[in-house]
Amino acid sequence: MRILLIGAGGVGTAVTRIAARRGFFERLVVADYDKSRAEAAVAAVAPADAEARPTAEVRFAASRIDASDESAVTDLLVRERCDVLLNATDPRFVMPLFRAALAAGAHYMDMAMSLSHPHPERPYEACGVKLGDEQFSLGEDWKNSGRLALVGMGVEPGLSDVFARYAADELFDSIEEIGVRDGANLTVEGYDFAPSFSIWTTIEECLNPPVIFEAGRGWFTTAPFSEPEVFDFPEGIGPVECVNVEHEEVLLIPRWVEADRVTFKYGLGTDFINTLQVLHQVGLDRTDTVTVKGPEGPVQVSPRDVVAACLPDPATLGHLMRGKTCAGTWVKGTKEGRPREVYLYHVVDNEWSMKEYGSQAVVWQTALNPVVALELLSTGAWSGTGIAGPEAFDARPFLDLLEEYGSPWGMREQ
């Protein structure tokens, strides 16, 4: 397998560090708008890899690419003879990369889907353009191409969807609700506000109207931060207040798994929610540009990009972070006529991920799952054509391989 990885930020860099320990691929090209970032990601793993394979083609290489330039991405895929494009950029670049992979005849994988747009009149009642709608509109083109676009294959979405499929296949006869629940007890020394993941993406998913699915009603929206609940997370994290947030699982799971209700709730905390609300109130969450004074005259900037530039890069905070992060899927239903309720989860301790891989826990946990999925595609354990989410495939091979990667998952009866 030959892979083009686009995006050498925290997640992309962690992908290279995880993949370097596996032998399933022939070549991995890391491409970024800032070539120095791609070169740094490769430099961290290439020496050991080259020493292990002195007579083989170098497995890792760096390149510069503009993710918005479809033709350039297509050309790079063809030139490097890549079988698959792994998208580790933010969601703004999903569609050009998605189309470039299709044009090049390559498979495609991402960890976040095409952007949503709220309903113009009833944003907190009805869906407008949903997450992933732009991608699914090209479903026939992907099916006819004979290639697979595996969308939403990070941790959330991604592993959480695999858990949903596993629960449906092996743990339940009928499902009343599938609720993805994400929480952590991570702290960052020296910062009052320092998100552990991309602030651009965090603002997008937290301030957009959350989507809920109900059988018979379909998808609908509610107000941001609605339906607060306290969820007790495992392995010492403990109780965390969680609220509704827009997320891909709610749009993906009902397509392949039968459940009466699907939700996503994120453990944000009061201070974090208050900060996001203030950003929204003063317009700093906007993505359209505004005019500001510059040293050489007026400059067009996006307020959200300014916020991102003012905050530390999450990938650089690992040495200051303490605690654990938990991604998981809570499922309620029946088995053999009896009520059942379980929480399937995956916990990463930041101290462990920094020591073992040099990557902070949140980005490492996100990066792990597409690498596992790529290995399953390379062996044929997972295969298909068209557009599919993680829950479209048998969960057991994924969960077994996750264990082999040294990162076990857990299940708690509620």
Whole-prediction pTM? 0.91
Q: Please give the pLDDT value at position 51.
A: 58
Q: Please give the pLDDT value at position 50.
A: 58
Q: Please give the pLDDT value at position 194.
A: 76
Nearest to 19 by CA among 294, 368, 285: 368
**Burial category of 404 from C-beta neighbours within 10 Å (exposed 0-12, middle 13-18, buried 19 and up):** exposed
**SS3 letters for the chain?**
CEEEEECCCHHHHHHHHHHCCCCCCCEEEEEECCHHHHHHHHHCCHHHHHHHCCCCCCCEEEEECCCCCHHHHHHHHHHCCCCEEEECCCHHHHHHHHHHHHHHCCEEEECCCCCCECCCCCCCCCCCECCCHHHHCCHHHHHHHCCEEECCCECCCEHHHHHHHHHHHHHCCEEEEEEEEEEECCEECCCCCCCCCCHHHHHHHHHCCCEEEECCCEEEECCCCCCCEEEEECCCCEEEEEEECCCHHHHHHHHHCCCCEEEEEECCCHHHHHHHHHHHHCCCCCCCCEEEEECCEEEEECHHHHHHHHCCCHHHCHHHEECEEEEEEEEEEEECCEEEEEEEEEEEEHHHHHHHHCCCHHHHHHHHHHHHHHHHHHHCCCCCCEEECHHHCCHHHHHHHHHHCCCCCEEEEC
End-to-end Cα separation, the chain, in angstroms: 41
Q: Please give the pLDDT value at position 240.
A: 93
Q: What is the mean pLDDT of each run of 10 residues along the chain (414 residues)?
A: 97 97 96 97 80 67 97 98 97 97 98 96 96 98 98 98 98 98 92 76 85 97 94 96 95 98 91 85 88 88 88 82 96 97 98 96 97 98 98 98 96 96
Nearest to 137 by CA among 386, 392, 383: 386
Q: Please give the pLDDT value at position 196.
A: 73
Residue keyed to tokens 């201070």: 271
How far apart (Å, rounded) are the C-alpha atoms in residues 9 and 38?
A: 8
Q: Please give the pLDDT value at position 48.
A: 61
Q: Please give the pLDDT value at position 217.
A: 97
